[in-house]
Amino acid sequence: EAGVAQSPRYKIIEKRQSVAFWCNPISGHATLYWYQQILGQGPKLLIQFQNNGVVDDSQLPKDRFSAERLKGVDSTLKIQPAKLEDSAVYLCASSSGPGQGNTEAFFGQGTRLTVV
Amino acid sequence: GENVEQHPSTLSVQEGDSAVIKCTYSDSASNYFPWYKQELGKGPQLIIDIRSNVGEKKDQRIAVTLNKTAKHFSLHITETQPEDSAVYFCAATLVGSARQLTFGSGTQLTVLP
């Protein structure tokens, strides 16, 4: 089966610009996650969707980050305006069931964002 | 909330030797502990996991042990091969809750030929 698809793979922007990342989860997976992975650290959850509803966005910086999952399939994560500290790899993951640990989460390759 | 500490941050071993990576967690309620392998330019991939009702789990050359009393768990890789070189992450969560996976900071494993 096809894996989690993300685009773009790399993005370089200047601070205060906006950027958007796209994720296509594994077909049929109801749960979708966006993680931020800063260099040298483990992934940190930004937002979790169950179908097209938000389950957890407690660590999403809502003043600059937004995410949506229309029709419960694809998702986009947006940053506006970007700051230097947003430089990181943004990982999308999906799983067939709710809750982490109930079913395996499959990760995409990520989008490496560099803010200069 | 949960806090997961992982050691060492880097580990070099000779091919054929064993490698051990250790993690400690803070929340005694956590009951699910997965390990992920992340190769360069790729997303993390689940390699093995353990639930709190068992103390050890093996899958070919990899094994995970869990000490609930001490709140630590370890990844053991035997007969290491160059393709084992990657960053390994431990994580912890409470299954069935709304809690997210909390990841450790990662261990860069290098297997020297």
Reported as a single tens digit per residue, the pLDDT across A38-54 is 998 999 999 999 888 99
Residues of A in contact with B31 (CB under 8 A): 101
CA dihedral A38, B32, B94, B88 (to 10 degrees): 0
CA of A93: which chain B residue's CA is closest?
B43
Closest partner residue to A56 (CB to CB) among B44, B94, B100 is B100
Max Cα distance, chain B (Å): 43
Instruction: Compare CB distances from A110 to B43, B45, B97 and report the shortest one's residue.
Output: B43
Q: What per-residue confidence (pLDDT) applies to A32?
A: 93
Mean per-residue pLDDT of chain A: 92
DSSP-derived 3-state class of residue B73? strand
pLDDT over 90 at A100, yes or no:
no
- pLDDT (tens digit, 9 = 90+) per residue, B38-47? 999 899 999 9
